[in-house]
Amino acid sequence: MSSYFTDLAQQYIDGEWRPGTGSWDIIDFNPYDGEKLASITIATVDEVDDAYQAAARAQKQWAATNPYARRAVFEKALRVIEEREQEITEVIIAELGGTHLKAGFELHLAKEFLREAIHLALRPEGKIIPSPVDGKENRVYRVPVGVVGVISPFNFPFLLSLKSVAPALALGNAVVLKPHQNTPICGGSLVAKILEESGLPAGLLNVVITDIAEIGDAFIEHPIPKVISFTGSDKVGRHVATVCAANFKRSVLELGGNSALVVLDDADIDYAVDAAVFSRYVHQGQVCMAANRVLVDRSVADEFTEKFVAKVRTLKVGDPSDPQTVIGPVINSSQADVLSATVEQAIAEGATALVHGTTTDNLVEPSVLTGLPADSALLKQEVFGPVAFLATFDGEAEAVRLVNDTPYGLSGAVHTGNIERGVNFAKQIDTGMFHVNDGTVHDEPIVPFGGEKNSGLGRLNGETMLDSFTTMKWISVQHGRSGFPF
């Protein structure tokens, strides 16, 4: 594993591994024990330009490559990941504090998305559309956009980089990838290494490891990329969208959430407890779809709360390399500090801590809070960590109002003994995704993934990748002579 952090601690531009030329280094730390994993000299604006220029040079020939040949690269990449699954698991545990459970979840989905990319290479189809003009043939071609810029987050970096990179490449584009500073290997150079070994020609995927303190908006302002795919916070996403719009670029934004898991009066309580605990605490709650809020019908609230709290108290907190650990460290100390402050703010506002977790370095124990005032800002914002807010409601109408009372609209779930009641409830929620009798955290390769309101713009996965990473081109052919008025 250690060789990954030495060999891959570089920029990857035009098929070459090279150091950045910046004046300072990004230090990659293990969030659990503070071990220094890698030191990477950052990329400057010049390297960002080099990466985009390389992508532009390589893209035309790649777009003209037989899609069956493009497909073979991703078939090989899938085999490489399968062969190195244990090593990649160790890297995920070390770099982002993911547990064995989380690493397995991330790798399973990464392989599923690669399988979809294999099929996606053959998916673009053209059309012939009728014309009111005699002898005219209207052809509509679906063509690559050209170069795509991808910015990936720290929570599922390997998966969420591949999720945009692989489809964009499969559809004939070139890509420049900027991983999060906290996960430069999992989210950046590891992806490049796997695709390099899988036969991807030089220049088609470039990785720049850098920081906006060094490059500002150069990554998204650059004239070459036509699409920016960003996954991260809504605050940064709003800025990305603004810069893209000013530069006539398309942005695909997968942003934060404030999902609710709702327990109606006819729910299977034990099952709802299991779903809610997983939905809130998986990967330390550092998941955009996590259930920030657990809303329970007052008639079953006492039973649910007792069982929920009891299960939360059983969650093992500690070393993510221990297979028994459920909750490892959050990504860094600033995140840990924010979470501790959030719990204290809730208590100061009148909430009761049914479970009051302590914080030691980056290990944040789970907390369960109830009785937060209905107008508290904490109930409307994203909390990216193992802190659950429990609230009660009286009847479905109030539940719908509470779920929608947030600027976010990503995911959610409802538990009920009546499936159609659940579906009817889901239809009333302003989210891009909603689940009946399940958790809030789901992603599948062929279903449209994305949010409403402040949770994003556009969709990823399946057919929606065509909308994100290709464009339509109309070519008309006039058979015979056309008539002109003068």
Query: For residue 456, what are the β-bridge partners?
Result: 254
Angstrom distance (rounded) from CA 68 to CA 122: 7
Task: Quote the Cα angle for 54-196-169, to 5°.
Answer: 60
Widest pairwise Cα distance in the chain: 84
Average pLDDT, the chain: 97
Class of the CATH-defined domain 259-436: alpha beta
Angstrom distance (rounded) from CA 441 to CA 413: 9
Q: Exposure string (b/e) for 101-124, b if CB count within 10 Å is 16 or more?
A: bbbebbbebbbbbbebbbebbebb
Task: Using the Cα atoms of residue 293, residue 299, residue 300 and residue 305 in order, give the sign of their dihedral.
Answer: positive
Express as a percent the part of the chain with pLDDT over 70: 100
Angstrom distance (rounded) from CA 173 to CA 203: 11
Position 1 scores a pLDDT of: 59
Band of the pLDDT at 483, cuts 50, 70, 90? Answer: confident
Overall average pLDDT of the 338-362 stretch = 97
Q: Exposure string (b/e) for 217-250, b if CB count within 10 Å is 16 or more?
A: ebbbbbebbbbbbbbbbbebbeebbebbeeeebb
Express as a percent the part of the chain with pLDDT over 90: 99
Residue 381, helix vs strand vs coil: coil
Angstrom distance (rounded) from CA 423 to CA 431: 13
Q: Is 221 a catalytic residue?
A: no
Task: Examine the pLDDT at 241 and tell me if it is beyond 90.
Answer: yes
Task: Quote the Cα angle for 121-127-133, to 5°.
Answer: 160
Task: Examine the pLDDT at 178 and tell me if it is beyond 80.
Answer: yes
Band of the pLDDT at 326, cuts 50, 70, 90? Answer: very high
User: Residue 318, exposed/middle/buried by CB under 10 A (0-12, 13-18, 19+)?
Assistant: middle
Task: Examine the pLDDT at 194 and tell me if it is beyond 80.
Answer: yes
pLDDT tens column, 127-169: 999 999 999 999 999 999 999 999 999 999 999 999 999 999 9
Q: Is 254 a catalytic residue?
A: yes
Locate CATH 3.40.605.10 in the chain: 2-255+455-474
Say which of 95, 106, 186, 288 is annotated catalytic.
288
Cβ atoms within 10 Å of 211's Cβ, excluding its own: 15
Element (H, E) at 39: strand 36-41
Phi, psi of 380 (to 5 degrees): -105, -10
Locate CATH 3.40.309.10 in the chain: 259-436
pLDDT tens column, 70-99: 999 999 999 999 999 999 999 999 999 999
**Contact residues for 302 (Cβ-Cβ < 8 A; gap 6+):** none
Say which of 47, 196, 214, 254 is annotated catalytic.
254
Task: Examine the pLDDT at 2 and tell me if it is beyond 70.
Answer: no
2-255+455-474 CATH: 3.40.605.10
Q: Which two tokens stand for residue 435?
A: 């689940």
Eight-state DSSP code of residue 460: B
